[in-house]
Amino acid sequence: MSRIFSGVQPTGNLHLGNYLGAVRNWVKLQHDYECIFCVVDMHAITVPQDPKALTASTREVAAAMIASGVDPKKHIIFNQSQVSGHAELAWIFNCVARLGWLNRMTQFKDKAGKNRENASVGLYAYPNLMAADILLYKATHVPVGEDQKQHLELARDIAAKFNNDFGVENFFPLPEPLILGTATRVMSLKDGTKKMSKSDPSELSRINMTDDADDIAKKIRKAKTDPEPLPGDDKGLEGRPEAANLLGIYAALSDSTLTETVAKFAGEGFGTFKQHLADLAVAKLGPIQDEMRRLLDDLAYVDSVLKDGAERANAIAEPIMAEIKDVVGFLTVR
Ligand code: AMP
Ligand code: TRP
């Protein structure tokens, strides 16, 4: 059986990168897989969070998943801290993963910055918790954006080392990353060489899923460009990261390829193209935003989805966690 697990941190609102790189693909994959989608609140606290904002953001991210089209009846949507197996398995993986492996993680280096001594131990061990998320359900496929590739490789290494160390061949599957679509790495609207991110101090750098039509149009109008008209073919995008990013976003939103999109706007000025892009973004995101607003007016419903999801997730995780404890040699006195 193929099973999907993926997660998003509730560290603020979802942005266009989260949508095009991850959530939109989940919606497509839900027809072919059994899916578990998680709001990873325990990952969020690896950097400081305001408790009230964390609670609100957990509900918002769940609402965004539902509004984007994930079916919470057929699949599971829940928040991580409600299923204790994530923390239990993460501890075991802290004892499987090697310091040398974690030392190579580029996301830790980026997030910790210069002041590494002051980063939390949780931020360092973040990839072990992520491996635990996936393997607690023996998930086989993990749809994510490009930036999570290295963490997925680590999860595979942890699974393989556990299987090998405890002599339990094929106990954990080696999870496969699914990095799909034309926008696996959406860049900042203000700098085509930087990833669009929730933590960028400039609001103009990203389109949030909650931005209204005026905000979306304004942010696209103000997006950084270069002085040349749009290129005639894909090759002409070399060395033009902003043009490549905006055309990539258009391609993803219109379900076409980058080559088709480049051909469509060949030789146009940025002004005209940006108008088309803004119209498309508003048309595609508008209905999702309306549905999100409706859901956030009915928090009792959102909470009922998260409660039901946690119960169903726990029902899958519990027997697997019991098996893991047996393998490790933890005594459960029954
Ligand atoms: P995060 O917001 O870091 O929890 O990311 C949630 C999901 O969105 C992960 O699958 C990421 O790989 C994906 N993602 C985040 N930022 C981007 C981006 N700028 N472009 C594409 N995918 C992204
Ligand atoms: N680390 C991921 C991110 O920031 C979020 C995440 C946590 C995740 N656990 C996961 C993604 C398990 C996929 C599978 O994007």
Q: Which ligand has the minimum distance to the alpha carbon of residue 35? A: 2
Cα 69 from chain centre: 16
Rounded to the nearest whole angstrom, what is the distance from the C-alpha of residue 178 to the centroid of ligand 1?
13
Rounded to the nearest whole angstrom, what is the distance from the C-alpha of residue 294 to the centroid of ligand 1?
24
Q: Which of 82, 249, 259, 252 is nearest to 180 (CA)?
A: 252
Average pLDDT (124-150) is 97
Q: What residue owns the CA closest to ligand 2's atom 13?
A: 6
Rounded to the nearest whole angstrom, what is the distance from the C-alpha of residue 94 to the centroid of ligand 2?
17
Q: Is the CB of 195 under 6 A from ligand 1?
A: yes
pLDDT of residue 334 exceeding 90, the answer is: no
pTM of the model: 0.96
Q: Is the CB of 200 under 6 A from ligand 1?
A: no
Yes or no: is domain 3-184+299-328 CATH 3.40.50.300? Answer: no
**CATH topology of 3-184+299-328 equal to that of 211-294?**
no
Confidence of residue 12 (pLDDT cuts 50, 70, 90): confident
Q: Which ligand has the minimum distance to the alpha carbon of residue 43? A: 2
Ramachandran region of residue 232, left (φ > 0), alpha (ψ -120 to 50) or beta?
Answer: alpha
Tokens of 141: 């496929």
Percentage, residues of the chain above pLDDT 70: 100
pLDDT at 13: 83
Average pLDDT (90-116) is 96
Rounded to the nearest whole angstrom, what is the distance from the C-alpha of residue 8 to the centroid of ligand 2?
6
Confidence of residue 298 (pLDDT cuts 50, 70, 90): very high
Question: In the chain, what are the domain boundaries?
Answer: 3-184+299-328, 211-294
Angle CA(244)–CA(143)–CA(208) in degrees, nearest 5? Answer: 55
pLDDT digits (tens, 9 = 90+) for 184-225: 999 999 999 999 999 899 999 999 998 999 999 999 999 999
Q: Which ligand has the minimum distance to the alpha carbon of residue 13? A: 1
Average pLDDT (4-24) is 95
Average pLDDT (217-236) is 96
Q: Which of 109, 149, 190, 198 is catalytic?
A: 198
**Residue range 211-294, CATH number:** 1.10.240.10
Q: What residue owns the CA closest to ligand 1's atom 6?
A: 8
Average pLDDT (6-26) is 95
CA of 5, closest atom in ligand 2:
14
Q: Which of 190, 195, 219, 274 is catalytic?
A: 195
Q: Is the CB of 185 under 6 A from ligand 1?
A: yes
pLDDT of residue 1 exceeding 80, the answer is: no
Average pLDDT (317-328) is 98
Tokens of 198: 């929730």
DSSP type of residue 154: H
Average pLDDT (167-190) is 96
Count of helices and strands (H, E) across the chain: 14, 5
Phi, psi (degrees; rounded to nearest 5) at 76: -105, 125
Rounded to the nearest whole angstrom, what is the distance from the C-alpha of residue 77 to the centroid of ligand 2?
14
Residue 39 burial by CB count (10 A; 0-12/13-18/19+): exposed, middle or buried?
buried
198 classed as catalytic: yes
Q: Is the CB of 111 under 6 A from ligand 1?
A: no
Q: What residue owns the CA closest to ligand 2's atom 3?
A: 8
Average pLDDT (279-307) is 96
The span from the CA of 191 to the CA of 50, in Å, is 28
Mean of the per-residue pLDDT values of the chain: 96
pLDDT digits (tens, 9 = 90+) for 41-77: 999 999 999 999 999 999 999 999 999 999 999 999 9
Confidence of residue 177 (pLDDT cuts 50, 70, 90): very high
